[in-house]
Structure 1
């Protein structure tokens, strides 16, 4: 089963997250199937590739709760 979730990047005390599609069984920083966007919690800035995200959601990828809330804030969702 595939999930749309965060992959942590950045330095200590300065997190930066990439929104990615991964298998459920992989680790947080494991192999990524596709990158869809990013989220910076320090500045509350995020960017999502809408075409790729809609395509993945139509194919049955389940977003995590945090990603789902972030998608609701996006203007096209």
Structure 2
């Protein structure tokens, strides 16, 4: 099953998350199918870039949003 979730990057005490479409059985920071956006929790604008069309495409193919990504998109008024 494909999930849209966040992969951690950045450095110690300064995380930057990448929103990715990945196989649900692969590790959090492992191989992914497509990069869909970036989230920086400590920046003024938390969501730097989001490929909304890419997310819609993956959802139409049966992918599921993780709870964290769903909440993040909802709190930033991004409609799917």
Give the TM-score of the pair, scaled to structure 1.
0.91
Q: Which residue of 2 aligns with 1:68?
A: 70
Aligned residue pair count: 77
Q: Which residue of 2 aligns with 1:18?
A: 18
Task: For 1:18-37, list aligned pairs within 5 A.
Answer: 18-37=18-37
SS at match of 2:74: helix
Task: Show structure 2 runs of 5+ residues with no match.
Answer: none
| Aligned structure 1 segments of 4 or more residues deviating by more than 6 angstroms | none
Task: Show structure 1 runs of 5+ residues with no match.
Answer: none
Q: Which residue of 1 aligns with 2:46?
A: 45
Give the alignment's Cα RMSD to 1 decimal. Answer: 1.2
Cα displacement (A) at 1:25: 0.8
Counterpart CA distance in 1 for 2:69 and 2:29 is 16
Cα displacement (A) at 1:76: 4.1
Q: How big is each residue's C-alpha offset from its partner over 1:38-73, in whole Å with a ceiling of 9 and x where there is no partner? A: 100112510211111111111111011000011213
